[in-house]
Chain A
Amino acid sequence: MKRLSLSQAFWFLLRRDLLLGFRNRSELANPLLFFVLVITLFPLAVGAEPNLLARISPGIIWVAALLASMLSLDAIFRSDFEDGTLEQMLLSAHPVPVLVLAKVTAHWLVTGLPLLMVAPMLAMMLGLDESAYGILLLTILLGTPVLSLIGSIGVALTIGLRKGGIILSLLVLPLYVPVLIFAASAVDVSSVGLDAGAQIKMLMAFLFLALSLSPVATAAALRMSMS
């Protein structure tokens, strides 16, 4: 058997996970539906007054995106853990953090990226100022991968537990705070016509930090969970 090079292994795993994601449509649609539903709840709860909604829409959209991303986390490793694929991944000759990165990337493409497509529609429904749409999309593009990367550590720590759901949110949500602060603030300031450059740069910094550090932590946590 021919041995795969590292980049081949990365792309192979990415393609496999994407294929699995698209074959299982509900996995693709559920986080999206959840995102839309949570946002629908807010006008019902706080009232449909346009000024109020426009004022709090950056926060609403980001809290909903954060929850949707968190609830879909479990799918990163769950099925592979249950059928033993994950164990084979850990035993393979390739460095585990790179394989983890492939899986998290696939997961983000399936669950994070679709949020981008519905976000403008929801922003319009909430009456967010149109000048902020671009920044909103940019924050989702930069912020949701960070959520997936940080979340993968939490999933890896709790994958062996039968009821990991609630404990996962307890672990992961405090770590999401910086992303929420900067992303919501970026949208907020750009909706009143100010420059959001600083916040966007911070989000980029978070993304690169998470890209470089979190796969290592996730790999260590997976090893621990499988032992």
Chain B
Amino acid sequence: MGSPPHFYRFAGRWLPWLTGIFAIFLIVGLYGGLVMAPPDYQQGESYRIIFVHVPAAWMSMFIYMVMASCGIIVLVWRMKMAEIVLISSAPVGASFTFLALVTGSLWGKPMWGTYWVWDARLTSELILLFLYLGVLGLYGAIDDKRVAGRAVAILAIVGMVNIPIIHYSVDWWNSLHQTASLTKFEKPSMPPSMYVPILIMALAFKIYFVLALFQRVRAELLYRERNSRWVEELVQS
């Protein structure tokens, strides 16, 4: 898997399969969530955004962990593929974080009566988005992409150490500052007809991440290896 031409072909073979599996999971998950699941007894239909919101929020944290793990591999073993996976994950992770923020704020409108509250989860999600943008910004700013790969590896690991600290600080800050009128949304224990679609959607998003990652990695590989023989052969064939 470490060799670029091998990974390029491997990812290429898997792409159509992944796309198919993703489509099936997405359709089943959305149908289960938007049609089959019963409306919530308190929130009515508006709760249905959780079928996108919750999996997106999970993905935003999961992808950062993928990045930090790649960062450790980059620093310890100097693997070129890990660098590429790291930086190709960042835009996908940032998008999921953004999606979680947008859906959260859309959900906040009927729930809290406003698009944005300085809720602990929203705030730490926003800071997570800034961390992603920092990784992307640093990678873009360094011209030598080998150096840039190692720089973002260090940054991803530093971010990983800080994420729990930031998360708990924001939690604590929030419990101190939040006004009493604003009751945090307590998750009721859900019936299976609600949580099964969430799990299916989470799987669909995971597969989408792999799908998007493979495509980005392939593009990045072609760019980085543009002077190598295998790319030349690929272009000519």
Residues of A in contact with B (beta carbons under 8 Å apart): 153, 157-158, 160-161, 163-164, 167, 170-171, 173-175, 177-178, 181-182, 185, 206, 213, 217, 220-221, 224-225, 227
What B residues does A167 contact at CB under 8 A? Answer: 134, 137-138, 141
Contact A185 B176 (CB under 8 A): yes
Are the CB atoms of B137 and A175 closer together than 8 Å? no
Q: How far is the CB of A113 from chain B (nearest CB, A)?
A: 25
Cross-interface CB contact of A171 among B138, B161, B166, cutoff 8 Å? B138
Q: Is the CB of A173 within 8 A of B166?
A: no
By beta carbon, the residue of chain B nearest A188 is B176
Extra pairs beyond A170-B130, A225-B147 (6, CB < 8 Å)? A160-B142, A174-B127, A174-B131, A177-B169, A224-B150, A225-B151
- Cβ–Cβ contact A185 & B142, under 8 A: no
Q: List 16 A-B residue pairs with CB atoms under 8 Å apart, sorted by A's residue number.
A: A153-B154, A157-B138, A158-B138, A160-B147, A161-B141, A164-B141, A167-B134, A170-B137, A171-B138, A174-B134, A174-B162, A181-B172, A181-B173, A182-B169, A217-B158, A221-B154
- If the complex has contacts A174-B127, A177-B166, A177-B169, are A227 and B134 also in contact, measured as CB distance less than 8 A? no
A224 to B176 CA separation, bound complex (whole angstroms): 41
- Chain A nearest CB: distance from B93 CB in Å? 14
**B67 interface residue per 8 A CB criterion:** no
Interface residues of B in 111-154 (CB under 8 A from A): 127, 130-131, 133-134, 137-138, 141-142, 147, 150-151, 154
Closest 5 CB pairs of A and B: A178-B169, A174-B130, A181-B173, A171-B134, A224-B150
| Most chain B Cβ neighbours within 10 Å, of A157, A173, A182 | A157
Q: Is the CB of A157 within 8 A of B130?
A: no
Closest CB in chain B relative to A96 CB, distance in Å = 14
Partner among B133, B147, B157, B162 whose Cβ is within 8 Å of the Cβ of A175: B162
Contact in complex: A153, B134 (CB < 8 Å)? no
Kindly list chain A residues whose C-beta atoms are within 8 Å of the C-beta of B173: 181, 185
Q: In the complex, A164→B141 CA distance in Å?
A: 8
User: Does B165 touch A at the CB level, under 8 Å?
Assistant: yes
Tell me the smallest distance from the CB of A162 to a CB of chain B, in Å. 9
Chain B residues lying within 8 Å of A163, measured Cβ to Cβ, are: 141
Distance, CA A206 to CA B150, complexed state (A): 26
Does B217 reach chain A (CB closer than 8 Å)?
A: no
A225 CB contacts on chain B under 8 angstroms? 147, 151
Contacts from B to A (Cβ < 8 Å): 75, 127, 130-131, 133-134, 137-138, 141-142, 147, 150-151, 154-155, 157-159, 161-162, 165-166, 169-170, 172-173, 176
Name the residue among A164, A178, A185 with the largest chain B CB count within 10 angstroms.
Answer: A178
Give the docked Cα–Cα distance between A175 and B170 (Å).
Answer: 12
- Which chain A residues border B130 with CB–CB below 8 Å? 170, 173-174
Q: Which residue of B lies closest to A220 (CB)?
A: B154
Select one of A164, A171, A182, A213 contacting B155, CB under 8 A. A171
Docked Cα-Cα span, A206 to B158, in Å, equals 14
A178-B176 CB under 8 A given contacts A161-B141, A220-B75: no
- What are the residues of chain A within 8 A of B170 when measuring CB–CB? 177, 181
| Neighbouring B residues of A153 by C-beta, 8 Å | 154, 158
Docked Cα-Cα span, A174 to B170, in Å, equals 12
Contacts of B138 in A (CB 8 A): 157-158, 167, 171
Whether B154 contacts A157 by the Cβ 8 Å rule is yes
Alpha-carbon distance between A163 and B140 when the two chains are bound, in angstroms? 12
Nearest chain B residue, comparing its CB with the CB of A217: B158
A153 to chain B, nearest CB (A): 6
Residues of A within 8 A of B158 (CB): 153, 175, 217
Please measure, in the bound complex, the distance between the C-alpha atom of A167 and the C-alpha atom of B135, giving whole angstroms: 10
Q: From A227, which residue of chain B is reached at the shortest CB distance?
A: B147
Bound Cα distance A153, B152 (Å):
12
Contact B172 A177 (CB under 8 A): no
Bound-complex Cα distance A16 to B170 (A): 39
Q: How far is the CA of A173 from the CA of B130 in the complex (A)?
A: 9
Chain A: minimal CB distance from B213 (Å): 23
Q: In the complex, A206 Cα to B169 Cα: how many Å? A: 11
Q: What is the bound-complex CA distance between A157 and B154, given in angstroms?
A: 8
